[in-house]
Structure formats: C-alpha cells, structure tokens
C-alpha cells in the first residue's frame, strides 16, 4: 500500500485512490466486509486529502500489527 502521495493529491483523486486500495484487499468474513465498508464511508466523508491520508496510514499501521491496544480506532476497525 503506497499512501505517501495521498495528501498532495486533490481531494477527489485522493479519495478514489484510497478507495481502490481498500477495495483491492479481500474481505472473507462478514465482520471484515462491514469494517471495510466503514473505512470506505470514512474516506468518502473525509473533508481533506490530509484526512484521507491519515485514514490510510492508520490502515497501513494496523495491517503491520501496530494498532494501539484499547484505542477507539482499533475497536472500530478491528476486523480489517
């Protein structure tokens, strides 16, 4: 996942790029599908490309096992 350039893109371009990154990841369970849909909704409602970048950095860190224990973000996106 390459998220470094998202914050420098226009908002619409950053959203489309981020959504395609999320959609390309397989979701096997219903919980994973639900969490994936939530991330996509968050990306769609992001007000700036910097916010899209932040969401995607959180995804990247989580995929590497670097979630913060007990955080609200971890609870919300636990199945991705």
The pLDDT tens digits of the residues spanning 31-47 come to 889 989 999 999 999 99
pLDDT higher for 75 or 20?
Answer: 20
pLDDT at residue number 74 = 64
> Average pLDDT for residues 52-78, to the nearest whole number?
77
- Are 10 and 68 in contact by the 8 Å Cβ rule? The answer is no
Nearest residue to 49 via CA among 1, 2, 4, 14: 14
Domain spans of the chain, in order of start? 13-21+29-76
Q: What is the DSSP string of 7-28?
A: GGS-HHHHHHHHHHHHHTS---
Per-residue pLDDT for 1 more than 60? Answer: no
pTM: 0.80
């Amino acid at each position: 996942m390459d998220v470094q350039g998202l914050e420098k893109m226009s908002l619409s371009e950053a959203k489309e790029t981020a959504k395609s990154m999320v959609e390309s990841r397989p979701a096997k369970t219903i919980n994973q599908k639900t969490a994936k849909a939530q991330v996509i909704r968050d990306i769609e409602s992001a007000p700036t490309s910097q916010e899209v970048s932040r969401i995607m950095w959180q995804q990247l860190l989580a995929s590497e096992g670097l979630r913060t224990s007990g955080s609200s973000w971890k609870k919300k996106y636990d199945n991705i």
